[in-house]
Chains A and B, each alone.
Chain A
């Protein structure tokens, strides 16, 4: 598997090239091998997408 390097304030971490997530999500995968892999419900991932979009729109609106 090929990896790219992501960084945060703790340093560098290797993320598989076919994944979109960043350093902190990769660290969580390594630090919490609890329960079946990928057991976070997809609806929650989608909900966070809506939440982040709403936050971005609101922050942009407040700045202008």
Chain B
């Protein structure tokens, strides 16, 4: 009697052999539909809106690193034409002023980058310029972190250290209202 019941149970067991196939089918479906999107980009903090125009004339010209991009995607850096390739190194030199030149920033905390573009400027060029300026600061922060703490500048370094570096070399970028010479319409 006991033997018979165990036999019954055996025959009633569900065959799990096809489970793997079913799982495979689902797996393949998700494999095909998955797009592991890497959402990355340049994060920017826009200034709050105010109707009062900021007066830039109060600043000393030596502390302002002006970058102008026109509708032909040409660059004018501190009133002379320049290439995108030179931009990063020039910005770095301007901010740190290693040789204490009289026409570069007094000190990193006073340095201001002023970016102005035209409504006809290509977005690609604009982003490239922004990228280079950000790269200049990132490299300076990296150098500062290496010099002071002997570690790489990264998100997982202590907050105070990061704050100290950013306090010494603050990223100040002001964007002026663009001109409208090359607007498309």
Do chains A and B stick together as partners?
Answer: no
